[in-house]
A and B are shown apart, each in its own frame.
Chain A
Amino acid sequence: MPPARSHGRFPGFVTLLRYTGRMAKLGEVLDSAVAIARGMTVTFKEMLNPPITEEYPDAPPIFEERFRGAHVLERDENGLEKCVACFLCAAACPVQCIYIEAAENTDQVRISGGERYAQVYNIDYNRCIFCGYCVEACPTDAITHGHGFELASADTSALVMRKEDMLRPLGAA
């Protein structure tokens, strides 16, 4: 079966060739050009407008406030760590990816506001499912979801974040 011809106002390519070959019906050609231009108006117009989708990775992504990204361990108004190593986040975590070692604050070394602080605080992002249960469990609002999301790595051991990686830098409240 021969290929179906296109009819109507947009002649097919072969038809067009046949017509141009004969230098005939120039008007029809112009017609076509106009039709194409008209068809592309939306495209051309949008080309000049600013984009409404995100420009990531050329531009930084924009998040909703409540986006659950990589965790941030918060500090209080005195710059002390909010986490008191209560282990409740670790207990709430459904995939058990939080590992904590607690230690006692002393008068000389005071890390957190409570009696105790997390000497070691690791989250294993190989396993974290960003459910936010830890954030919900935390009695001191010490752990929050930040907006970090570029967490992919070919090296699984690089996905275990340590306290130092997650702690909010001093002064950056």
Chain B
Amino acid sequence: MADLVTFTIDGRQVQAAPRTLLITAAKQAGIEIPAFCYYDGFSLQAACRMCLVEIEKTPKLQVACTTPVTEGMVVRTDSPQVAAARKGMLELLLTNHPLDCPVCDKGGECELQDMVFRYGAGESRFVETKQHVDERQWSPVVFYDKPRCILCYRCVRVCDEGLGVGALGVGDRGSASEIIPNRGDHLECDECGACIDICPVGALTSGTYRYQTRPWEMDHVGTICTFCSNGCKTTLGVRNGEITRANNRDKSGVNGEFLCVKGRYGFDFNHHPERLTAPLVRVNGKLAPASWAQALATVGKKFAEVKQRGGKFGVIGSNHTTNEENYYLQNFARQALGTSNIDHRRTGDVATLIDALHGHAGALATTADLYTTPAALIIGSDLSQQHPFLAWQLRANFRHHQAKVFAITSGPIREDRYAAKTMRAAEGEELTAVESFREHLAQQKSLVILFGDSIKGDAVRKLVAFGDSLGIPVSYVPLVDYSNSRGASDMGVLPDLLPGYHGVREAGLEPGLAYDAILSATDLDALYVVQENPFAKTPLASTGAFVVVQDLFLTETAERADVVLPAASAYEKAGTVTNVCGEVQKLKAGAKTMGAKTDLEIMGLISKEMGVSIGIWKHDTVFAEVRKSVPGYNVALPVVETGGAAPTFPVNGRVPLEDRPDLISSDRNTLFLSGTLGRYSKMLTSVLEYPGKLYGQPVETELEMKEAQNT
């Protein structure tokens, strides 16, 4: 590029794009400038003065984090003055710092420790007694230890700019300055813990990880969050087979370091005391513990018998199991059980969108697109509550690229604050309302439309027609609820569709019973439920049916079962999941629960008991088959294997689906809810508080209102 500026740093001539900050330009040249308050992606602060450098012709040292490079600039980062400045800054930072590293949660991964180690100031000239302030608990999640705080404002900025919550601020002056929460002595916020993880020191600590262990004592396992459909990468800290924390400080994965409260703290369901660890078989009307061999034999025998007499099966798949398991499950249903009565709880209309998009190329947006798209339209979703990561992407896009965000929802949403245009419309009326945006939308270079469960069936086709009529490139995100809702649909856990949206008739089968019909069929002989809890809402009509349930807990459905098989959670197995944007990512096993088996293995073992062979139950073998046979899933293996997200585009001509919009409904989970799974997370249930409601007042708006009343 011709417009690069050339400058000299530590005697080396390097080039950088104009207006690049010195700190970034130095990093690009492989020179580290220490920093606390500078943080990529957030507003500049220049508060810590760690980044002081010498610039020729400038009398005083300058902060590299706010100084842009200019042509001919001569910078030194290795001079004695700079070294002395760094040492001095550290000495000042440590004036009141307790240096209780042995008990501090940050010890071992503390930026202050590292800096002191590298740039000196191990000795202090201050002899005054350090001020002590007791540690405070702001919420079940967040604890604040004031003396450790170095006032870098990172927490304040991530909460305000990143999350759009703005629950933290700075109070007082001088050495008494401290971070204060929005409710004076406690926090009312998303409880996402982003402030805790971004804190360079141990000033903010989390309720789950506090004083549990040390970073070097854990195995760090990168896997995918098992709650909502956004598919955030999370790194589990595992000790003795138990998860002690989850974060994503290495910024790997689609989400960078973003995680919501469920991803960061919801993992504790995994070692909930009620986890099932042995199969249960109903004997004399009561569920009693049994051995795996016994339980599998019971299931195998019964299934084989029902199959032989031509009985009626029902199979209900999960929104949480892996693609491999879903693929295997529909094989199991269609081949081993010989039934088409297979479905899952549909939370968004993916199939209709895939059908409506036939002939469109690249019309499914990825999570990365949300950060780069010039414009986005949200329809019928409280994005910040239901899809926290997608909302984070759009906010970042607005901050960094001034993206235009439009929204049509039935209530106030957080996006209202920065959206170019928002509008309230009752559910089902959104498509009429969207016409009033037409002019604005048509002016955009391109558009991503995210739509919730109120757009289903014909409405999806109408929406695509509307998108087509705008005359700009439009891509879509069909919002679904759970970690692999999208995969369940793509893998053909549907009565009328095979994996990859092929009609069942292509394989010479007839469409089977859908979700509601399975539950309401009075003559059902056997029901097989994999990690799903249908009876929580609808009881089973067939009283005589033999019910087999695979789950982590004794849910309402499992309580009615004849055989309950303890299943492994997503944090305990390998495989792939597909997120809301159709990106395939890999799970890695971190934790272990004694006695539980993966759903894939259980299905394999049941089919073996039945004496039928539907292939090896190993996740990589099944994934190889998925890659081969499911259109759009022929993803690049190295991408998936190295923890990347591979986009899929399973559009394959018309989809011969039977329109059943009535079956589609989202659970409308908020930040603190996640279907049945969320109930078993102690942390999630303990933070269930304001503003955990959909279409609620955004926190800051309410605060502003209160403030307005007070003045």
Contacts and interface: CB of A to CB of B under 8 A. Distances in A.
B217 A90 contact: yes
Contact of A86 (B135, B210, B212, B214): B214
Contacts of B210: 104
27 contacts: A85-B103, A85-B211, A86-B101, A86-B102, A86-B103, A86-B107, A86-B214, A87-B214, A87-B216, A87-B217, A88-B102, A90-B217, A91-B214, A101-B213, A102-B211, A102-B212, A102-B213, A103-B211, A104-B210, A104-B211, A114-B102, A114-B103, A115-B103, A115-B135, A115-B211, A116-B211, A139-B102
B123 interface: no
B103 A116 contact: yes
Nearest to B217: A87
Interface of B: 100-103, 107, 135, 210-214, 216-217
Given A103-B211, A104-B210, A116-B211, A91 B103 contact: no
A102 B211 CA distance: 6
Given A86-B107, A87-B217, A140 B102 contact: yes
B100 A114 contact: yes
A44 B696 CA distance: 101
Given A90-B217, A91-B214, 7 more contacts: A87-B213, A87-B216, A88-B102, A102-B211, A102-B212, A104-B211, A115-B100
Contacts of B101: 86, 139
A84 interface: yes
A162 to B, nearest CB: 16
B141 to A, nearest CB: 15
A84 B107 CA distance: 13
Interface in A94-118: 101-104, 114-116
Closest 10 CB pairs of A and B: A86-B102, A116-B211, A87-B214, A104-B211, A114-B103, A139-B102, A115-B103, A116-B103, A84-B103, A84-B102
A140 B102 CA distance: 9
A84 B105 CA distance: 12
Contacts of B214: 86-87, 91
Contacts of B216: 87, 91
A66 to B, nearest CB: 24
Nearest to B135: A115
A35 B101 CA distance: 75
Q: Which secondary structure characterizes the binding site on chain B?
A: loop
A21 B102 CA distance: 87
A82 to B, nearest CB: 11
Interface in A110-149: 114-116, 139-140
A85 B134 CA distance: 20
Q: Output the residue of B101, B107, B216, B217 with the most chain A CB within 10 A.
A: B217
B521 to A, nearest CB: 51
A83 B565 CA distance: 43
A84 B103 CA distance: 6
B5 to A, nearest CB: 46
Contacts of A101: 213
A37 B443 CA distance: 123
A84 B102 CA distance: 7
A143 to B, nearest CB: 12
Contacts of B107: 86
Interface in A28-75: none
Contacts of B100: 114-115
Nearest to B100: A114
Q: Output the residue of B102, B210, B214 with the most chain A CB within 10 A.
A: B102
A86 B216 CA distance: 11
A81 B107 CA distance: 21
A94 B214 CA distance: 17
Contacts of A140: 102
Nearest to A87: B214
Contacts of A90: 217
B217 to A, nearest CB: 6
A94 to B, nearest CB: 15
A90 B210 CA distance: 19
Contacts of B135: 115
A88 to B, nearest CB: 7
A88 B101 CA distance: 11
A87 B102 CA distance: 8
A140 B101 CA distance: 11
A102 B214 CA distance: 9
Contacts of A102: 211-213
A136 B213 CA distance: 21
Nearest to B214: A87
Contacts of A86: 101-103, 107, 214
Contacts of B102: 84, 86, 88, 114, 139-140
Interface string A8-20: 0000000000000
A36 B242 CA distance: 77
Nearest to A138: B102
Nearest to B205: A115
A101 B103 CA distance: 13
Contacts of A139: 101-102
B338 to A, nearest CB: 51
Q: Output the residue of B210, B211, B212, B217 with the most chain A CB within 10 A.
A: B211
A101 B100 CA distance: 19
Nearest to A105: B211
A103 B135 CA distance: 17
Contacts of B103: 84-86, 114-116
A123 to B, nearest CB: 16
B214 to A, nearest CB: 4
B355 to A, nearest CB: 55
Contacts of B212: 102
A88 B108 CA distance: 10
Contacts of A114: 100, 102-103
A91 B101 CA distance: 14
A91 B107 CA distance: 12
Contacts of B211: 85, 102-104, 115-116
Nearest to A88: B102
A86 B102 CA distance: 5
Q: Output the residue of A91, A104, A115 with the most chain B CB within 10 A.
A: A115
